[in-house]
Amino acid sequence: MKKLIILLVLSLFAATAAFAAEGTVVSVADGHAVVAMGAGATFKQGAKVKLNGKTGQVTAVDGGNLTIKAPNAGDLKAGDRVKVDKAAVALQGC
């Protein structure tokens, strides 16, 4: 019974730890998209993220704007709504 409760608690923690936010594309150039996230965004430069499901990296943070380098950045245009998720950290083995 204890194992089941621990598993449920860990599942809930994992679900709440996954952070997803929406933003608006401000501009796109050279594989980088500038996304307006608002003042509440808590991303740091160098953070691994997913931009609409594709792996990317935050290359700059300017107030509420994030510059994200991602392979799908060229498919976006100014004004598009995008989803930015914190990427999961890969598990490391022995």
- Total structural domains within the chain: 1
Is residue 13 in some structural domain? no
Q: Report the pLDDT value the prediction gives residue 43, as an integer from 0 to 100.
A: 86
Is residue 1 very low, low, confident or very high in pLDDT (cuts 50, 70, 90)? confident
Is residue 10 in some structural domain? no
The CATH number that applies at residue 58 is: 2.40.30.20
List own/partner pairs for 79-83 with CB under 8 A and 24 or more apart: 79/24, 79/25, 80/24, 80/25, 81/22, 81/23, 81/24, 81/25, 82/22, 82/23, 82/24, 82/25, 82/33, 82/35, 82/51, 82/52, 83/20, 83/21, 83/22, 83/50, 83/51, 83/52, 83/53
pLDDT digits (tens, 9 = 90+) for 53-94: 899 999 999 888 999 999 999 999 999 999 998 876 555 555
Is residue 91 in some structural domain? no
Is residue 94 in some structural domain? no
